[in-house]
Amino acid sequence: MHAKKAGKKSSVDPTSNGAQERLSEVLSTFATLREDGRALIERIHGSLLEMRDLRQQIRAQRTERAPGRGGFAPARAAYLQMQFGLTARETEVALLLGQGCSNVAIAKTLGISTHTARHHTQRVLAKMKVHSRAEAGAKLRG
């Protein structure tokens, strides 16, 4: 009986070697996948940081062009004030209208409420003697 056990052990050993080899291959594959996953995450993280930097640059450029911060040519603003009798704030609103901005965008840009932006827009349209934002934009673009 003892001889049978010894025989079974020798027949089990080659099978267990094959299983161990397969297990080793699977673990190696998982390790490779883990490394690839980490590398991919690092690349994604780098891309996100790059996109964040680009977004900040775009915001900075927009801020530089915002009214009241040197974004609009003073001669253009003076012309609008003289031609249509606009106040300084109405001139800022008119220039934003010319860019196609909504009242919400005008409010955010100028740091005022949407109600105030709407009021300024109505005053600009009345002073320019136009009936729509599109007509005002066309007149401003000239």
Please state the rounded mean pLDDT for residues 33-41: 95
Quote the crossing angle between the two packed helices 133-141 and 114-128, to the nearest 10°: 60
Lowest mean pLDDT among 16-25, 62-71, 103-112: 62-71
* DSSP state string for 46-73: HHHHHHHHHHHHHHHHHHHHSTTTT-S-
Prediction pTM value: 0.50
1-23 burial: b if 16+ Cβ within 10 Å, else e = eeeeeeeeeeeeeeeeeeeeeee
Structure-model confidence comparison of residues 77 and 23, the more confident one = 23
Helix (H, G, I), strand (E, B) or coil at 85: coil
DSSP string, 92-115: HHHHHHHTT--HHHHHHHHT--HH
Across 17-21, 39-43, 89-93, 104-108, least confident range: 17-21
Mean pLDDT of 65-86: 73
Alpha carbon distance, N-terminus to C-terminus of the chain: 107
